[in-house]
Amino acid sequence: MKLPKSITAIVPFVAGVLLALAAGWTAFPRAIYRAQRQPVNFSHRVHADKAGQKCDDCHSFRADGTFAGVPTLDKCSGCHAVPMGNTAEEKAFIDRYVTPGREPQWLVYARQPENVYFSHITHVKLAGMKCETCHGNEGATDGLRAYQEDRVSGYSRDVFRSMKMDDCVDCHRRQGMDHSCLDCHK
Amino acid sequence: MTSSKKTIKAARYGMTIDIDRCNGCGACMVACAVENNIPPVPQGGDRKGLTWIRVYKVDNGAQGADRRSAFVPMLCQQCGNEAPCAHVCPQNAVEIDPATGIVGQMPERCLGCRYCMAACPYHARYYNWWDPAWPAGMERTLNPDVAPRMRGVVEKCNFCHARWHAAREQAAADGKPDTEPVNYVPACAEACPTHAIRFVDLNQTSVEGFRMLEKLGTEPKIFYQSKRDWVRQIAEAPRPTANGSKQGKEASRG
Amino acid sequence: MTTTRRNLFKLAGGAAAGSLLTPAPWRLITDTALLSENWPGVPRPKRGEVSYRFGNCALCTAGCAVRARCVAGQPVALAGVEAHPLSRGALCTYGIAGHHLPYHPARLRQGPVAEASAAVQSAIRTLRPNEHCAVLDLRPGRTASWTYRRAMASVRNGMYLASESNTAVDLASAKTVLSLGVPVLDGWGTPGNVWALRGGFHLIQAEPVESRTAVMADLWLPIRAGSEAALLDAVRGGSASDAAAQTGLSEQQIASLARELRENGPSLVLDRNGASPMIARREAPVPEEWKKAVPATQLASVSEESIRVLLIDESMPGEYLPWSAIQPKLTSDCVVVSFAWSKEGYGRQARFTLPAAVYPEVVDDIPPAIDSPAAMFRLAAALVAPPEGMVSPTGFIAGLAGIDAKNALQERVAAIQKSGRGSMFDPSGAAKPADLWKALQAGATWIDDREPRASVISTQIASPLADDKNRSSAPLAIAFSEPRAAALVSPLMSKVTNESGLRLGTHGVAIHPSDARGAGLAEGSRARLETASGFVTVDISVDDTVPPGVIQVGGGPDLQNVCGANRRGRVVAL
């Protein structure tokens, strides 16, 4: 069957559009990210269940109100100077990090650009927000998911998903908060 | 970007600078650079430097033995009414914080057109001609509370806003109510050995003094003080009234 | 359908249009912007826990109390301590950025230690009978100074050279101060103390250039350069008309000055080499066994060509004696070793320059400043670790004499504690007063009791200003604009030098436009400043507030070395 000329004329164009859509929505996301493994496959669930810890046992506030973020090695060494369980992962951790006193280079999913200022204490203590609201239910996870690093800019896929400036501003607007640029930038 | 609900009692931060107490030592300039991660700019002379606060030497215009000088620290005057820089910025990179009255410059939004530098009547804005460079090892002494700026953007004094944040976090940690104003002081006021520079909340304290180029109507929040008439007249002069004391340099008047 | 070029373009066009509906181009734009923020040129400050440590600034004898804000143990900012009874929270332009010194590009990181040691020891072994091994101490009055004196007592023909350090002025009781070019309000004494006492004295500043102190003084007398001695003479009863002729002031001004000093006393006269009156100040107690040490000798009283080994401790900033005064005292085969922060001081003349730890890497005690009538003992804290390869001057010199001086500071503190004298200021308020050593290491200051009747030393203020040999040949009279600055200053001092012209840098000088024209110089030129002591490359500032015939010079050891005793010089274009 011979198609009318007008249809034939736009076929290449439409084909191009469809190709681009397919590539852009499937291949591009896969290509732009590089999966990095965390130095240790840390299990939040084990520490929450077996060790009975809550978020702020390790991710705590200092006396001056600043947030300690991902804990440093001394927090882990406090308990893991000797193996607490019997997993190979823990033994590897002790051999590679605790014994030589080397800080694990954790990849922080929520890492923001240098000019961003986020005050944890304002959100947690003053606004009463829960950790899960922004960070998801990390406490129930059995291992650390791979850090999907954007090849060009270096930031994590998690930031692009739900921790962009627009996401923060949306929440501020929903809460009816008065704010200005310097509140969140330094 | 604003809504009606206010969470803290608004402050209107300003300064009083007593010119009769300023001996031109420059400790404020160095302290500012330490706090705000401002790199040393040895090339380019005094027109390409980054001096968020800069002490100018002014004089009474007389010659020889009758000449008398004074030192005037100049920084962003934190205009309270229609800040010229905020008006002209094509990027909306300048925003006045309603909670503190501070005129905030956002280097991350700036595209480097320098229109604001032309608009500022106080020459208080500075352009990063080069990427910041510190001698090897000196990056260890950088302040983590302030982000260094790349080349191609304008920057200026923001009353050490990072210290305000730190003071608020400390207040939150201490359990103080959110509405209580915090006690914070910018680096220059803290460093001034003669206490010529004093930081005030204009909503809490009433101050006296004259302001630079008042007739422009920018309502700056920096109040200068001096008992000498000729110093007060400097504030009115749109142009230098006498020869610059240093040949070849930009005639340095307010 | 055929594959024509047109179809290809349609495909491409469709792909372009379609891609706009995918995240790809938008993400790439965002990423490029984000990438530009992470340029390799822009460093990212390291984060960590904030802590505060107290110490004292070692850049001059003011020893102002310092509170260091540290991030993960690294000092990132310094501030004063308001409660300190002397420094009152003030930190000067140099002290505010003192924590940058370890990273200064000119900072010495290595030196020929073994060679220097061998040369010194061999020279000491072969000292001829009238030859000396001498230590030149640029900052006398420290515990290290006592170590040198003890070492020289054990070394053959050992000698300890230093200027007087046990005198002070009583600024608190002065009602009138006549300063002959001394930067009283700009780095002299303990700045916080001077400012606190400012309301109690009338300051008359006599100098040719309107310095920062002159701007703030109650009265500025613009005398001609070099006429200070004549003014002093008139004020003490000499001829006012002579003084008027030399200084350029009127006879009435001189008479009125003399009257004021007489009638509005107690009055104090300051000049760059001394003061009148000065009071004797006893030192902080020392262990008894140390007192067998050699006393201090003045360089002027040393015979010519008699120093075979000269060990210079310039590891703590102090007053540089001009090399022209030192050179004649050295034998032709003198081994000169300098312990320094950079090659810019005596390193230019020393045979061996050995790297010493800088402030704030090393613990050392700071002798009291000129405006403290009571002795003080305080330590400069070690806030960062020194790099490998640093040489301790006390270790080296004590080693020559077989003395172990590692615990000298503790021994001194024990003696202070035993004496029962004095009181303590503790910035943190934490340490028990009984634990003096711990408190001092945490930044405390021990302040001696004032002697009820300290003897007044009537000094003839040395007339340093007549330099007759050169008066005719050198056209420019030298005026100093900076307090005696540290040998290394933070790179951020460019804010007040290059980036604003507010102060003269370590190699900066300022001359009048007519003198500049005469020498063929312009703003920013490099030139050579020549005096009878030598020459140094300088950066020219043209400034019409500097009178014709005067050259205003900045700080820095090179300039002090060359200008120190010579008050006249010339500038030559390079």
What is the rounded CA–CA span in Å between residue C495 and residue B40?
7
With CB atoms and an 8 Å threshold, state whether C498 touches B134.
no
- Span C33-42, average pLDDT: 79
CB proximity list for C294: less than 8 A, separation 6 or greater = C149, C152, C153, C158, C159, C160
How many helices (DSSP H) and strands (DSSP E) are in chain C? 16, 27
Average pLDDT score over residue span B93-114: 93
- CB contact under 8 Å between B170 and A64, yes or no, is yes
Q: What is the pLDDT of residue B242?
A: 44
In the prediction, which pLDDT does B247 show? 34
Check CB contact of B142 with chain A, cutoff 8 Å.
no
Q: Where are the domains of chain B?
A: 14-236
pLDDT at res. C417 = 93
Which residues have a Cβ under 8 Å from the Cβ of A91 and sit 6 or more positions away? Answer: A83
Span A7-35, average pLDDT: 90
pLDDT of residue C245: 92
pTM listed for this prediction: 0.93
Q: According to the model, what pLDDT value does residue B252 have?
A: 42
Kindly report whether the peptide bond that precedes residue C266 is cis, defined as omega within 30 degrees of 0: yes
pLDDT tier at C486, thresholds 50, 70, 90:
low
Average pLDDT, chain C: 90
Distances (CA, A) of B51 to B16, B18, B48, B145, C75: 19, 20, 9, 19, 22
pLDDT at C460: 60
More confident residue, C64 or C460: C64
Question: pLDDT tens digits for C517-534?
Answer: 999 999 989 999 998 888
Q: Is A119 on the interface with B (CB under 8 A)?
A: yes
Across residues B166-195, what is the average pLDDT? Answer: 90
- Tell me how close the Cα of B6 comes to any Cα of chain A, in angstroms: 6
Q: Which of A1-10, C40-49, C253-262 has the lowest mean pLDDT?
A: A1-10
Q: Is the pLDDT of residue A82 over 90?
A: no
Does residue A49 have a pLDDT over 70?
yes
Judged by CB atoms within 8 Å, which residues 23-62 of A form the interface with B? 61-62
Share of chain C above pLDDT 70, in %: 95
Q: pLDDT per residue over C141-157, tens digit each?
A: 999 999 999 999 999 89
Looking at residue C319, its pLDDT comes to 84
| Chain segment C331-372, per-residue pLDDT in tens | 999 999 999 999 888 988 999 999 999 999 999 999 999 999
Question: Does pLDDT of B35 surpass 80?
Answer: yes
- Render pLDDT for C371-396 as a digit per residue (tens, 0 to 9): 999 999 999 989 999 999 999 999 99
pLDDT of residue C485: 62
Half-sphere exposure of residue B143: CA atoms within 13 angstroms, side-chain side: 26
Token digits of residue C100: 């940058």
Q: What is the pLDDT of residue C431?
A: 58
pLDDT at residue B249 is higher than 60: no
pLDDT in tens, C215-270: 999 999 999 988 888 999 898 888 889 889 999 999 999 999 999 999 998 999 99
In contact, C186 and C211? CB cutoff 8 Å = yes
B247 in Cβ contact with B41 (< 8 Å): no
Residue B27 to residue C213, Cβ atoms within 8 A: no
Q: Which helix (H) or strand (E) holds C297?
A: strand C296-297
Reply yes or no on whether the pLDDT at C324 is more than 90: no
Instruction: Give the confidence band of B8 by pLDDT, cuts at 50, 70, 90.
Output: low
Quick check: A179 contacting B, CB < 8 Å?
A: yes
Mutation site, B6, B108, B146, B155, interface A, largest A CB count within 10 A? B108
CATH topology of domain B14-236: Alpha-Beta Plaits (3.30.70)
- Within 10 angstroms of residue B92's Cβ, the number of other Cβ atoms is 11
Put simply, whether C385 touches B (Cβ < 8 Å) is: no
Q: What is the mean pLDDT of residues A151-163?
A: 90
- B7 neighbourhood in chain A, CB within 8 Å: 177-178
Selection from B115, B107, B108 nearest residue B90 by Cα: B115
Q: Work out the pLDDT band at C432, boundaries 50, 70, 90.
A: low
**Yes or no, beta carbons of B147 and A186 under 8 Å apart:** yes
C510 beta partners: C541, C552
Residue A1 in this model has a pLDDT that exceeds 80: no
Q: Considering only residues 122 to 161 of chain B, which have any Cβ-Cβ distance to chain C shorter than 8 Å?
A: 131-144, 146, 148-151
**CB-based contact C215 B34, cutoff 8 Å:** no
Interface size A-B, in CB pairs within 8 Å, comes to 92
Distance from CA of A127 to the nearest CA of B (A): 11
Rg (CA), chain C: 28
DSSP-derived letter for residue C335 is: E
Confidence bin at C461 (pLDDT 50/70/90): low
pLDDT value at B119 more than 50: yes
Supply the pLDDT for residue C412. 96
pLDDT band at B238 (very low <50, low <70, confident <90, very high): low
Q: What is the pLDDT, as a whole number, of residue C297?
A: 93
Determine which of B30, B69, B165 to mutate to test the interface with C (most C C-beta atoms within 10 Å): B30
Please give the pLDDT value at position C433.
66
**Stated length of chain C:** 574
Q: State percent of chain C over pLDDT 90.
A: 72
Is residue C341 a contact partner of residue C198, using CB atoms and an 8 Å limit?
no
- How do residues C66-110 score in pLDDT, each as one tens digit? 999 999 999 999 999 999 999 999 999 999 999 999 999 999 999
